[in-house]
Amino acid sequence: MPRTTPEPADTISTPTPAATPPAVPVTPAAGASDAARWKVLVAMLVVLLLWASAFIAIRFVGDAISPGPLALGRQLVGTAALVAVALIRRPPLPRGRTLALVAVYGVLWFAGYTLVLNLAERHLDAGTAAMLVNIAPLLVAVAAGVFLKEGFPRSLVVGLLVAFAGVVIIATGGVGAHADMLGIALGVLAAVLYALGVLVQKVALREADALSATWVGCAIGAAVLLPFLPQTVVEVGAAPAPAVWAMVFLGIFPSAVAFLLWAYVLKRSPAGVTASATLAVPAIVVLLSWALLGELPTLLGMVGGALCLIGVALSRRASRPRRS
């Protein structure tokens, strides 16, 4: 009887897993990056237009409302508008060191800068005041490069020099020839307060929400200006309606709207590059003065304004990331 060889047991074969394609790193869509850059650019353009209009509105108010009451009325209106937005959005409030920085920025910018600019425009026309105030971006760029470690990109330095040359040309041959020494000193002081406010705000925005930092800063600025309240009540009650509406405009648009957009831009751009964009304001002020106040720019004024815009375009290149 032949020996039967047992058949080997069935082996269970484990299926070989399908080859997994190599992982591809996920990078943000180029379209999303471009959209974010465009949002920042549009926000900055609106800020420039609104801040330029502030020089015209302050000059338009003239003697109807004096500098202190005008500053307080503007900040009270701005605070009311910002608080209304904050009640809807409910952003987190700044705390501790961040709150202290927001308070300093509120005192320097919303209170100090606003009051000093109002005083300066009693002695200067709108165009000259704008030119002097726009020394500030140079101060911001230097301080941001040293203290905030933002450095000095070549395009930023070149853009600042070109734009500043435009400011000098406007100051020497553009609109606003009349000025006295007190007005010039007040304009320079306003520029210093502007620069300090931007630097402190830039540090505060590392931790603070842009909306909460803006409305708290505006409220603190209004609180600092409260000693002008009795005078404000009297003067606003006696002022003509156009002057009062100009004050309301200053509070809602150049203060509330523009400062919200400014905080949005500043949180997403280097302080030096962002502040350099405001060098376009004198050129815009010259055009608005021509259209609304009948101040015709000279040829040198137009050349200086063009240089301001070219300088801004050059300095904005500093914020674009290098492509490998």
Q: Where are the alpha helices (DSSP H) in the chain?
A: 30-61, 67-89, 96-105, 114-120, 126-133, 136-147, 154-173, 181-204, 210-224, 229-238, 241-250, 258-266, 271-277, 281-288, 299-316
Burial of 85 (0-12, 13-18, 19+ CB in 10 A): middle
Burial of 186 (0-12, 13-18, 19+ CB in 10 A): buried
| Rounded Cα–Cα distance for residues 117 and 129 (Å) | 8
Residue 135 has what pLDDT? Answer: 78
Candidates 110, 131, 109; CA nearest to 120 is 131
Report the DSSP beta bridge partners of residue 179: 124
The model's pTM is: 0.76
174 band by pLDDT with thresholds 50, 70 and 90: low
134-165 pLDDT, tens digit each: 877 777 777 777 776 767 778 778 877 887 88
Residue 152 has what pLDDT? Answer: 73
DSSP state of 2: P
Q: For the chain, what is the mean pLDDT? A: 81
Judge whether 196 and 275 are in contact, CB under 8 Å: no
Candidates 210, 187, 204, 208; CA nearest to 258 is 210
Residue 10 has what pLDDT? Answer: 45
Judge whether 284 and 52 are in contact, CB under 8 Å: yes
Give the contacts of 294 (CB within 8 A, at least 6 positions apart).
none
**To 5 degrees, how large is the angle CA 44–CA 46–CA 47?**
65
Residue 58 has what pLDDT? Answer: 95
| Rounded Cα–Cα distance for residues 217 and 93 (Å) | 11
Q: Say whether pLDDT at 253 is over 70.
A: yes
Q: Say whether pLDDT at 320 is over 70.
A: no
202 band by pLDDT with thresholds 50, 70 and 90: confident
| Rounded Cα–Cα distance for residues 219 and 213 (Å) | 10
54-111 pLDDT, tens digit each: 999 999 998 899 999 999 999 999 999 999 999 998 999 999 999 999 999 999 999 9
| Rounded Cα–Cα distance for residues 255 and 79 (Å) | 9
